[in-house]
């Protein structure tokens, strides 16, 4: 997995490439925690995400909760059909914001 972070005042865009799974999810979580300060808008760009596991879903759900607690917002963009199917099968498509 490769991560790129673009922070702009109160906005953080995280571009993710590869798989978000049991091996890589802890790195995503750790890197997010390092960049939280002052963020009220979190955007994930999943254009290059091939797979997400339950460990990855957990990180995404926790990030969403953290944004809600901060009266902020979280959006996941550019999700391919295979990854979106995982979000739909788990019901996450009803609680998360997708573009």
Q: What is the DSSP string of 13-68?
A: EEEEEEEESTTTHHHHHHHHHHT-TT--EEEEEEEEEEEE-HHHHHHHHHHHHHHH
CA–CA gap between residue 88 and residue 93 (Å, rounded): 5
Residues 76 and 74: their CA atoms lie apart, in Å, by 7
Answer yes or no: is 79 within a domain: yes
State the CATH number of the domain containing residue 36. Answer: 3.30.750.24
Residue 8 lies in a domain: yes
pLDDT in tens, the chain (99 residues): 999 999 998 999 999 999 999 999 999 999 999 998 899 999 999 999 999 999 999 999 999 999 999 999 999 999 999 999 999 999 999 999 999
pTM for the predicted model, two decimal places: 0.95
**96 domain-assigned:** no
Evaluate whether residue 83 is within a structural domain.
yes
Q: How many domains does the chain have?
A: 1
Residue 98 lies in a domain: no
Asked whether the beta carbons of 35 and 10 are under 8 A apart, the reply is no
Give the pLDDT score at 4: 97
Helix (H, G, I), strand (E, B) or coil at 69: helix
Residue 23 lies in a domain: yes
Helix 54-69 to helix 81-90 angle (10° resolution) is 70
Residue-level pLDDT at 57: 98
DSSP state of 95: T
Domain that holds residue 74: 2-91
Residue 26 lies in a domain: yes
């Amino acid at each position: 997995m490769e991560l790129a972070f673009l922070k702009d005042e109160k906005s953080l865009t995280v571009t993710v490439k590869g798989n978000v799974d049991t091996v890589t999810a802890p790195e995503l979580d750790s890197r997010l925690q390092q960049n939280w300060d002052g963020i009220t808008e979190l955007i994930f760009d999943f254009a290059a995400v091939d797979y997400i596991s339950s460990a990855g879903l957990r990180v995404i759900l926790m990030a969403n909760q953290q944004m809600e607690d901060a009266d902020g917002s979280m959006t996941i963009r550019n999700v391919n059909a295979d990854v979106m199917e995982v979000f739909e099968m788990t019901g996450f498509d009803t609680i998360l914001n997708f573009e």
